[in-house]
């Protein structure tokens, strides 16, 4: 049992994990203070013959302290979070050189459209691979999520990426993978009876391997 996040493999992981640990420490301290406090009070102030409680109605000073300290702490957490949020989800924060993909999401599969050798999405050399997303390491990618039936949610735990795909809305999600490897994609919004098996995989290749994969795919397509 552990509160340690699994290893991250994207540029977002550093920021998000840091925020998580900051909050973990702060809430951890609050947790200990309250629980230990309750336990200590329960034992120390339990009823015993001959004792009487002290008739205290309150303390303005205490109220001010325990209002201000949480308020200031939370505002700080909020401000720290704001910049990270904007960087990840801000509409203007998608890097202009991100490699574009289209993702057609439906019950119960992910269809990834690749831009093909001409480097342009929406042209005749685009190709689709079901449930497999191949991307190069250390390059930002931008996915346009196109939901075709109900709401789904594109979730890659290792990349700390999650974005709902909503039918009728133009939704973009971007990220940059930092480690070569294979990672799982899950659907994170109840979408019907097959929601539990709406699994796909991301393959993060080195730059050369990515080029190789693309040309292998193009060659295979030519043979068809």
Partner 1 sequence: MATSAVSLEPAAHVEAHELSFLRKYIFSTDHKIIGIQFLLMSFVFLLFGGLMAMMIRWQLGFPERPLPAGQLLPETMAPGGILLPEFYNSLVTMHGTIMVFFAIMPLLVGVFGNYLIPLKLGAPDMAFPRLNMASFWIAFSAGILMMAGFFVEGGHAAAGWTAYAPLSADPEWTGVSGGQQIWLLSIAILGLASIMGALNYITTVVNLRAPGMTWFRMPLSIWALFVTAILVLLAIPILSGAAIMLFFDQTIGTHFFDWTDGGQVILWQHLFWYFGHPEVYILILPAMGMVSDIIANGSRKPVFGYHSMVFALISIAFLGWVVWGHHMFQSGMNPTLGMTFMISTMIIAVPSAIKVFNWMGTMWRGNIRFHVPMLHSVGFVAMFVIGGLSGIFMASTPVDIYIHDTYFIVAHIHYVLFGGSLFAIFAAVTYWYPKMFGRMMNSTVGKVHFWLTFLFYNMTFFPMHDLGIAGHMRRIYDPSQYEFLQPLAPLNRFITVSALLLFTVQILFAANFIMSWFKGKKAGENPWEANGLEWTVASPPPHGNFAKVPTVYRGPYEYSSPLVEEDFLMQTRKLASDVDPAAAGP
Closest CA to 177 of 164, 160, 162: 160
Give me the residues paired with residue 174 across strands.
142
Q: Which of 94, 98, 186, 218 binds partner 1 (CB under 8 A)?
A: 186
Q: How far is the CB of 124 from partner 1 (least distance, A)?
A: 27
- Tell which positions 43-72 bind partner 1, by CB under 8 A: 45-48, 51-59, 62-63, 66-67, 70-71
Rule CB under 8 A: is residue 20 a binding residue for partner 1? yes
HSE value, Cβ hemisphere, 13 Å, CA-based, for 138: 4
Residue 192 Cβ, how far from partner 1 at the closest point, in Å? 5
Rounded Cα distance between 140 and 146, Å, is: 19
Sole binder of partner 1 in the list 132, 188, 209, 217 (CB under 8 A): 188
The number of angstroms, rounded, from the C-alpha of 179 to the middle of its chain's C-alpha atoms is: 17
Minimum Å distance from CB 141 to partner 1?
Answer: 17
**Which of 195, 209, 213, 217 touches partner 1 by CB under 8 A?**
195
Candidate list 14, 82, 119, 122; residue touching partner 1; CB under 8 A: 82
Which is nearer to partner 1, 53 or 219 (by Cβ)?
53
**Sole binder of partner 1 in the list 118, 119, 128, 199 (CB under 8 A):** 199
Q: Pick from 61, 124, 193, 224: which binds partner 1 (CB under 8 A)?
A: 193
CB nearer to partner 1: pick between 75 and 220: 75
Residue closer to partner 1 by CB (options 82, 122) is 82
Which residues are 143's β-sheet partners?
A: 101, 173
Q: What's the token pair of residue 66?
A: 């325990």
| Strand-pair category, 140-147 with 99-106 | parallel
DSSP state at residue 7? P
Of 94-102, 124-132, 136-144, 187-195, which segment contacts partner 1 by CB under 8 A? 187-195
Nearest-CA neighbor of 142 among 167, 163, 168? 163
Q: Which residues contact 3 (CB under 8 A, 6 or more apart)?
A: 24
- Smallest gap, in angstroms, from Cβ of residue 222 to partner 1? 34
* Minimum CB distance to partner 1, residue 138 (Å): 21
Q: How far is CA 28 from CA 25, 32, 33, 108, 138, in A?
A: 5, 6, 9, 39, 34
Distance CA 55, CA 192 (A): 58
Binding mask 26-45 for partner 1 (x = CB under 8 A): xx--xx--xx-xx--xx--x
């Amino acid at each position: 049992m552990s509160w340690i996040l699994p290893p991250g493999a994207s540029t977002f992981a550093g920021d998000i994990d840091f925020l998580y640990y900051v909050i973990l420490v702060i809430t951890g301290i609050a947790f200990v203070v309250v629980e230990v406090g309750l336990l200590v009070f329960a034992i120390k102030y339990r009823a015993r013959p001959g004792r009487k409680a002290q008739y205290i109605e309150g303390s303005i000073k205490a109220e001010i302290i325990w209002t201000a300290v949480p308020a200031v702490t939370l505002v700080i957490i909020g401000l720290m979070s704001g910049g990270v949020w904007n960087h990840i989800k801000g509409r203007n924060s998608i890097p202009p050189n991100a490699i574009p993909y289209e993702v057609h999401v439906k019950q119960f599969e992910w269809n990834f459209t690749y831009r093909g050798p001409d480097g342009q999405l929406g042209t005749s050399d685009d190709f689709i691979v079901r449930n497999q997303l191949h991307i190069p390491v250390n390059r930002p990618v931008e996915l346009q999520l196109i939901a075709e039936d109900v709401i789904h949610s594109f979730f890659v735990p290792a990349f700390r990426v999650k974005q709902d795909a909503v039918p009728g809305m133009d939704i973009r999600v971007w990220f940059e993978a930092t480690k070569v490897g294979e990672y799982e994609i899950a659907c994170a919004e109840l979408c019907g009876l097959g929601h539990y098996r709406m699994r796909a995989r991301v393959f993060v290749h080195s730059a050369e391997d990515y080029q190789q994969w693309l040309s292998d795919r193009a060659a295979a397509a030519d043979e068809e």
